[in-house]
Amino acid sequence: MSTQTAIIPDAKFLKQIDKKIKVNANLCYQCRKCSAGCPMSYAMDYTPAQLIHAIRLGLKDLVINSKTMWMCSSCQTCTTRCPQEVDIAKIMDTVKIIAVSEGIKPPVSSVHIFNKAALRNIKWFGRMYELGLIGDLKLRTFEFFKDMGLGVKMFLKGKLKIIPSLSLNRTLTTFNIFSRVSKKEKAESNN
Amino acid sequence: MSTKYAYYPGCSLHSTGSEYDMSFKLVAKKLGIELEEVPGWVCCGTSPAHSSSHLLAVSLPIKNLALVEDTGHKEVAVPCAACYSRFKSALYEIDHDKKLAEDTKEIIGSSFHNKVKVMHPLEIFAKITSQELKDKVKETPKDMRVVCYYGCLLTRPPKVMQFDDVEYPMTMDKVLENTGYEVLDWSYKTDCCGATFSLTETDAVLNLCQKILKNAQEVGATAIAVACPLCHANLDTRQTDINTKYNTDYNIPIYYFTQLMGLAFGFNQKELGITKHLTPVPMYIGSGSE
């Protein structure tokens, strides 16, 4: 006799996503066109169609611990081809945001570390300071020698600046935007 | 037709993709297009923003468009496909979500009237007649067979981007044909190069890029033209790694389409930043400066 317990669909998670981005995953009829066209599905643990199905079943733990959304390259092929116009790429982003806000340690940590480092960089410099970003990334991933040769070649070709282009005005612009966004998001999550 | 545009280069065009900036400016000038860089522009937020906060991902582009409005320009040229995509997505989102539009205004701390049109250089050049383009050509490099690679973000998702055919765009093909290039059909025009995984999940980039290079080689291309600094970085700087991992011998020069236009117009490789590429390029004419 099977020991598997039956899954009782629970719409709470689906509604949480719908409320955030107004995308209704229930429109999916599992044609799997998203997964057929996904260039990254080979590196995911669940295909995009499987992840959408899990969302519909309310399997929140499975979804927010999945590798799938972290391996999404945001190429928008799924969103483009979905016959039901479900914005799957946007669901991928939202699931990442929910996972992080609920304290999940992303299984593809490099992507999450990169995102955080890039945002810090933009917040403080106003523009992306690539050499600073690479340095930040290396300090946090301990992969000091990865792409070192490539970095040197790019530097010699004048593709990486040693000194960031600084402007107090720009820093104020991004710093204020970042601060107001986080304040607003905190206020809304408390509501 | 407007020949004056505000210009938003974006972070990449000031660093890893500086040759796109150099070549776009030269080609635009040659075609009588004036560009004014937006004072005080900031990063569009790119993937890290939309993967982390919906509100942030919309606010950063809208702030920049508000800065464009301050210059008085009605149109802004955005060459980086990622910035272009973030700008158009942000406009689409505030058009479809009143609350988000209100929130965004509060976040950016300045007024925004939604009066700016976001244009990719390809759209700007596509407005120029084929005769006008042909008239500017000095000598197009011979024996170069080009495939045009559009990547993901110029065309997808089509209801947001409204840029040419979503699966098989032709805008770049036509612009390069009109400047005298032999342009080939191929199957990987709008496939993904791995984009921002370059520094993180590099293996994914190698895998996706080797497929693109393979198809380009199969159809007999001797050059790939791109319109995005991320596509350029991945295809140009990762060929050695791809050859090592997949036991291949790709050696296909990757050009920004503006560099190819510039070569045909008679600018030299150095002025166009072609000497900054990592994958070696053959020496073409255009040695004499315009």
CATH code at position A33: 1.10.1060.10
A57 and A120 inside one domain = no
B70 interface with A at CB cutoff 8 Å: no
CB contact under 8 A, A73 and B194: yes
Question: What are the start-end ranges of the H helices in chain B?
Answer: 10-13, 18-30, 46-50, 54-71, 81-96, 98-108, 121-126, 130-136, 158-161, 171-178, 202-218, 229-237, 239-246, 257-264
Cβ atoms within 10 Å, residue A31: 13
Q: What is the pLDDT along chain B (290 residues), one digit of tens a residue?
A: 459 999 999 999 998 999 999 999 999 999 999 999 999 999 999 999 999 999 999 999 999 999 999 999 999 999 999 999 999 999 999 999 999 999 999 999 999 999 999 999 999 999 999 999 999 999 999 889 999 999 999 999 999 999 999 999 999 999 999 999 999 999 999 999 998 898 899 999 999 999 999 999 999 999 999 999 999 999 999 999 999 999 999 999 999 999 999 999 999 999 999 999 999 888 765 444 44
pLDDT in tens, A35-89: 999 999 999 999 999 999 999 999 999 999 999 999 999 999 999 999 999 999 9
CA neighbours closer than 13 Å in the CB half-sphere of residue B211: 16
A175 and A116 inside one domain = yes
CA distance B59 to A125: 17
CB contact under 8 A, B152 and A137: no
A89 and A167 inside one domain = no
Rama region for B213: left / alpha / beta (φ>0; ψ in -120 to 50; rest) = alpha
In 3D space, the residue among B6, B5, B16 whose CA is nearest the CA of residue B64 turns out to be B6
Task: Determine, yes or no, domain membership for A6.
Answer: no
CA distance A63 to A77: 21
Task: Determine, yes or no, domain membership for A55.
Answer: yes
A130 and A92 inside one domain = no
CA distance B4 to B37: 11
Q: Which residues of B touch A22 (CB under 8 A)?
A: 97
Largest CA distance in chain B: 56
CA distance B38 to A127: 13
Final residue in a domain of this structure, among A73, A101, A129: A101
A75 and A124 inside one domain = no
Which of A93, A161, A173 is facing B15, going by the closest CB pair? A161
A56 and A121 inside one domain = no
CB contact under 8 A, B53 and A181: yes
A154 and A80 inside one domain = no
Determine the average pLDDT of the residues in A113-137. 87
CB contact under 8 A, A119 and B48: yes
**Judging by beta carbons within 10 Å of its beta carbon (0-12, 13-18, 19+), is residue B75 exposed, middle or buried?**
middle
Which residue, among B12, B19, B20, B52, would best test binding to A if mutated, counting the most A CBs under 10 Å from its CB? B52
Q: Which residue has the higher pLDDT, A152 or B141?
A: B141
Q: Are B223 and B182 in contact (CB under 8 A)?
A: no
Mean pLDDT value across chain A: 90
| Per-residue pLDDT, B285 | 54
Task: Determine, yes or no, domain membership for A7.
Answer: no
* Residues within 8 A of A (CB atoms), B 112-151 only: none
CA distance B221 to B149: 12
A63 and A127 inside one domain = no
ipTM of the complex: 0.92
Task: Determine, yes or no, domain membership for A168.
Answer: yes
- Provide the residue ranges of all domains of chain B, joining segments of one domain with +: 4-122, 139-276
Class of domain B4-122: mainly alpha
| Per-residue pLDDT, A167 | 86
Largest CA distance in chain A: 69
In which domain, by residue range, is A51 found? Answer: 12-101
CB contact under 8 A, B200 and A111: yes
Task: Determine, yes or no, domain membership for A1.
Answer: no
A94 and A163 inside one domain = no
Q: Which residues of B touch A101 (CB under 8 A)?
A: none
Buried (b) or exposed (e) across B261-281, using 16+ Cβ within 10 A?
Answer: bbbbbbbbbebbbbebbbbeb
CA distance B65 to B129: 29
| Per-residue pLDDT, A1 | 52
Which of the following CATH numbers is that of domain B139-276: 3.40.50.2020, 3.40.50.300, 2.60.40.2240, 3.40.50.11810?
Answer: 3.40.50.11810
* Domains identified in chain A, total number: 2
A33 and A68 inside one domain = yes
Task: Determine, yes or no, domain membership for A5.
Answer: no
